[in-house]
Structures are given as C-alpha cells and as structure tokens.
Structure 1
Amino acid sequence: MERAERIRHSNSLAVAAHQGRKNNFNLLRVAAAAAVLVSHCYPIAYGPAAVEPLSNLLGITLGHLAVLIFFIISGFFVSQSFARSAGLTDFVAARVLRLYPALIVVSLVTIAVIGPITTQLPIEAYFSESSTFFYLPRSLSLKWLQDGLPGVFLANPFPVAVNGSLWTLFYEVVCYAGAATVAAYIRDSTRRASFCFVAIAAGYLALSLLDFHYGLSGRSSALRNFQDLVPAFVAGMIFFHYRKLITLRWTYCLMLGVPVLVLSQTALFQSAFLVFLSYVVFLIGFNAFPFLHSYNQVGDYSYGTYVYAFPIQQAVASVLPGISPFGLFCVAAPIVAGLSVASWHLVEEPALRSRVYLRARLGRPRMQVESGA
C-alpha cells in the first residue's frame, strides 16, 4: 500500500509542477507556434477557402488545435504565476512584459520594413496615409485590430491581412483577468474551487443553450471565439487548482482516449477531446521525454514565432506569387526562426528580466516564479 502511494505521489501533477525547468513546455509551445505557421501556409498560398490540415479529420484546423494547446498551457501557468506573484501589480507587470515588448517590435517591423517593401503605393504615399500610423496603436489595443496597411498584400491569395494571428491575444488577456479573479477567490480551497468551476461550467452551458436557440455566435465572432478558446484556458486552470489530486500516467491517457473515439460523431466530441488533449499536454509537458528538458536552456521562441509568422508568410507570398504551401513553409520558416530567436534574446528575455527591479520595489515575492509562468 505504501509503495502504491509513493508511486501515485511521484506521478502527481503537483510534484511535477515543482520541478522548475524540468519540463517540456517551452518545446511544446514552440511546436504549437510552428503548427500555426504550417496551418496558415494553406490559406496564405491558396486563399481563405483552402482546406487546412486536420480540418476534415477533427473538424478543427491544425492551427486551431495549436491555439487550444497554447490556451491550455497558459491557463495552468498563468494561474501558477498569480499564486506565486508578489501581488496584483507584480502579476500584471509579468503579463504586460511578456506580451507587449515583442508585440511593439513586430508591429514596428511590419510598418517600417515589411510594409514599404511590399506596398503597391509609392513610399511617400504609403507613409502619408493615416492608417499606416494607426496600425501600431490598434495592434496594442488588442481588441480593435487593423487588418491591413496601405497598398500591402492586396494581390495576395489571402488579401489585405497583415498579421492574422494577433486576434487571439485579446482573448488571452481576458482569460488572464479571469484566472486572477478565480485564483484570488479560491486561495487553495478545494471547496471554493469546486464551487467556482461548477459555476463557470453552468454559465458556459447556459450560454451554449442560448446560442443554440438564438444563433448568437452566428452574429458575433467575439462570442464564437470565447466559446472556442475559454474552455481550453479553463481546463488549464482546473489542472492547476486540482494538481494535488491529478496523477500523470500513460494508462490514464489511454483511458481518456476511449470517450473521444466513442463520441467522435456526437455533439460531445469536442468536450471529450478537450479533456483528452489537456491531459496529454500536461503528461508530455511534465512527465515524458526527460532528455528533452535541456531545450529549456535555449530559450522560449514560441511567442516570437507566433507573432512574426503571418506577416513573413504574407510577404513571401507577395514576393513569390503562386508559391505552394510547402514552398511557402520552406522559405518562411527559416526567416521566422531567425526573427523569433532575435526577439527572445534581444527583446523578450531582457524585458522579463526587468521584472526583477519591479519586484525589488514591491517587496519579496511569496515564491520564485518558475519557467513557463
């Protein structure tokens, strides 16, 4: 009995989460960002109607699957970040420093480099248009994004759109606020956690029923996006707040796969798949392939890959008209990789390190924030 308890304890999510950098989440995130790049190669090369990978098999694209993985991971680590922060200001600073420095730089690169190279307008006309200068503040707003720049990508198969990946950032930030609110209420209480997540599930079910009856998501893309992304983030939050009760084992993963197969042709498939996907993400992230842990010493290139991929792919499609999805990937991927590496080492990592000075002003944090937060 004691041996069984030791095995269960050693495989628990709570123990795994306290192993610092001994995880695969940097690698998982960069793989997900690369999957978004691969998925976007099809509409950027062939147009918005192009069939993307996995869309026929799972009913979602490879890119959407990757975004779900991002939100699952983020739900866990943002909840952890709040629990280990020195306070609300420290938590908000961490989120701002993770999100905005790279976003500012990629927006400026898009305006000042990609735009002038690819625009059909004379350079003077391009820089005289007000929309050129509105692009940066609209991007930083996250909500009121500007699709295009003057004369840029007008002849592309996927026309106008300059950075079609940024739309998810608004929902990510909304989820950050939700995670902080939930974590502040729960405060390590299992009873409060149960009440909170039951209430969230009930609210989501009520919203889904209203949507089914009145077709609300058909009239509101924002509502549809919330319905798609928030459950993944909440799944990550649940794994964090119940980490002491969750055991990571491959046999459990196989058991969770059975409902996915059984419900594959029903309305419950997406819910079953999300539970399975979440478990797989944390099993791989925390409890599998320890020889890959050394990747964490390299850096976290996922965010740079995510924000640079779309404009670079559009630029390649503009310069090389008629390029295939495979050719687009081969040309764009090395450029994006180089930019993401530069973004991490020159922009993102220095910005995150500046948080140390803010923490010194706020006082000693309750616990050191680990990799992934």
Structure 2
Amino acid sequence: MIRLFLAILVVYEHTAPLGGYKVNLDLFRKSIGAWAVYIFFGISGYLITASSFSNSVPQYLIKRIARIFTAYLAIQFVTAFIFGPLVTLLNGDSIAKLWETPVTPIGYFWGNYLLAIKSWRIGSTLSTNPYPKAWNGSTWTIWNEFLCYIIIVIVVSLIIKYKKIYIPIMAFLWLGLSFLSSRLPELIKAGGNSLIDVKLFIPLFSVFMAGSLLYSLKNTCGLIYSVESFH
C-alpha cells in the first residue's frame, strides 16, 4: 500500500502538464514526486536485499528480470503499436505516414526494449499534446532500478561469506554514495554532459543502499518485514 501511494504521488505530479495545473508541494527543494521516487527506491533496497539473501544468484536474476521486463515490455508494446497509431488517427493523420517518420513504432520499441530509454517519442504523435517531449517519461527510473538490482546482488554475493563485516561495508558504501551525491554539481560541471546518467543514478542508488543497510540492521533494530511475496 505504501508503494501504491508513492506511485499515485508520482502520477499526480506527472499529469500536471496534461491537466493544466501546478504541483506546489516542495520539500527541501525537491518536489513531492521526487521524494516519492526516493522513498520508493529506499523500500526497494530493503526488499531486494532480502530477496538477494533468500535466493541463489540465478533464481534472483530470473525473478528480477521477469518482474521488470514483463510489465515494461508490455507498456512499450502497447504504447508503440496501439496508442501511437490511435493518436495518429485522432490527429487526423494517416497511419501510413507514421511509418515514414524518423522514429516509427518499431523504432520506438526497438530503441527502448533494453530499459535504457533512447526514443521518447513516436513520429509526431505528441505534436498537439500539452507535454510533447515523451510518451512514458517516468520510465527513466526503470533502468536505474535494474542497475541497483544488479549491483546489490554482486555486492551480496561477494561478501555473503563475511557476514561480520557486511554491515560496515554497506555503511561505508552508503556514506560514500551520499558524499558523491552531495558533490554532484561539481562533478557534472567538471565532466560535462557525459555524467548526466550518473547525476540521476547516484542519488537513487544512495537511498536504495540506505534501504539495503536497514535490512542488514533489522536484527539489531528488531525490525521484521515479510518478503514472502518477493520469493
């Protein structure tokens, strides 16, 4: 229910350009939608770390890939081959012209099927839309979340034999990421646009690691959370 509520907050903020209203709910210079994404990643860090400890690496990867790609590819397919042509017709254009544009439905789907978004639009389907920049703008977080999944299983696999130092290592990684996150403006300025993905990823991975660290401390803190639905 918590993650559903967070998702609703993100949807609320993302629909502002379409609905013609403004979201004036900022906290510490971050919008309510941004905070919802951060909290979502923190919860995911807790749950995914639990899953990585409870499954073998192959089982973990199969479950994570199936969970991410099934819904993601379905969304991209429906967007490319149903919504794209439908909007083209509603705009009074011929579907045949859609296949002559720089980004066709196939190009959109093929460019995005590996999670990292390369094509945000399909032809000129969004030309009359209040927000013409992207069909599925919020999907940029999916690639970052999947990277978190991969990194955490590597970390857990490497140090699972050394449980006594697991928590200090996780704490060190989290503190390091938090420091990098605070220095991002300087890093971006020094590195130019080449670090734009890092700019997006490090803050998200920092809160993901915070959730992972919280799971590591759960026995000490007396926290109990059922992860049966993720097994």
Per the alignment, residue 216 of structure 2 pairs with 241
Per the alignment, residue 177 of structure 1 pairs with 150
Note closer, same or farther for the CA distance 1:232–1:369 as it changes in structure 2 (3 Å cut).
closer
Identity of matched residues, %? 24
**In the TM superposition, what is the alpha-carbon distance from 1:190 to its structure 2 partner?**
3.5
Per the alignment, residue 76 of structure 1 pairs with 46
Trace 1:245-324 onto structure 2 (pairs within 5 A).
Answer: 245-247=220-222
Q: Which has the higher contact order (CA 8 A, sep 6+)?
A: 1
Deviation per CA, 1:149-175: give whole Å up to 9, x if none. Answer: 112111222113100011001110111
Note closer, same or farther for the CA distance 1:62–1:202 as it changes in structure 2 (3 Å cut).
closer
Note closer, same or farther for the CA distance 1:203–1:74 as it changes in structure 2 (3 Å cut).
closer
2:71 partner amino acid: A
Deviation per CA, 1:284-307: give whole Å up to 9, x if none. Answer: xx5xxxxxxxxxxxxxxxxxxxxx
2:48 partner amino acid: V
Per the alignment, residue 92 of structure 1 pairs with 61
TM-score when normalising by structure 1: 0.55
Whole-Å separation in 2 of the counterparts to 1:218 and 1:229: 20
**In the TM superposition, what is the alpha-carbon distance from 1:201 to its structure 2 partner?**
2.0
* Match for residue 52 of structure 1 among 11, 23, 28: 23
TM-score when normalising by structure 2: 0.85
Q: Secondary structure at the match of 1:245?
A: helix
Per the alignment, residue 297 of structure 1 pairs with none
Question: Does 1:148 pair with 2:121?
Answer: yes
Question: Does 1:103 pair with 2:72?
Answer: yes
Per the alignment, residue 172 of structure 2 pairs with 198
Question: Does 1:66 pair with 2:41?
Answer: no
Deviation per CA, 1:98-141: give whole Å up to 9, x if none. Answer: 01111111111111221112124311111344532111122222
Note closer, same or farther for the CA distance 1:191–1:165 as it changes in structure 2 (3 Å cut).
same
2:69 partner amino acid: Y
Whole-Å separation in 2 of the counterparts to 1:52 and 1:218: 30
Deviation per CA, 1:213-270: give whole Å up to 9, x if none. Answer: 763487332122123211110111001111111246xxxxxxxxxxxxxxxxxxxxxx
Note closer, same or farther for the CA distance 1:68–1:213 as it changes in structure 2 (3 Å cut).
closer
Number of residue pairs matched by the alignment: 225
Whole-Å separation in 1 of the counterparts to 2:187 and 2:69: 39
Q: Which has the larger radius of gyration?
A: 1
Note closer, same or farther for the CA distance 1:214–1:110 as it changes in structure 2 (3 Å cut).
closer
Q: Which moved more, 1:239-248 or 1:66-75?
A: 239-248
Structure 2, gaps ≥5 residues long: none
Per the alignment, residue 133 of structure 1 pairs with 106
Whole-Å separation in 2 of the counterparts to 1:216 and 1:166: 28
**In the TM superposition, what is the alpha-carbon distance from 1:29 to its structure 2 partner?**
1.3
Check conservation: 2:188, 2:199, Cα contact below 8 A: no
Per the alignment, residue 158 of structure 1 pairs with 131
Per the alignment, residue 314 of structure 1 pairs with none
Structure 1 vs Structure 2 CA RMSD = 2.6
Whole-Å separation in 2 of the counterparts to 1:131 and 1:124: 10
Q: Which moved more, 1:218-227 or 1:33-42?
A: 218-227
Structure 1, gaps ≥5 residues long: 1-26, 249-281, 287-367
Note closer, same or farther for the CA distance 1:79–1:217 as it changes in structure 2 (3 Å cut).
farther
**In the TM superposition, what is the alpha-carbon distance from 1:40 to its structure 2 partner?**
0.9
Note closer, same or farther for the CA distance 1:165–1:101 as it changes in structure 2 (3 Å cut).
same
Q: Secondary structure at the match of 1:160?
A: coil
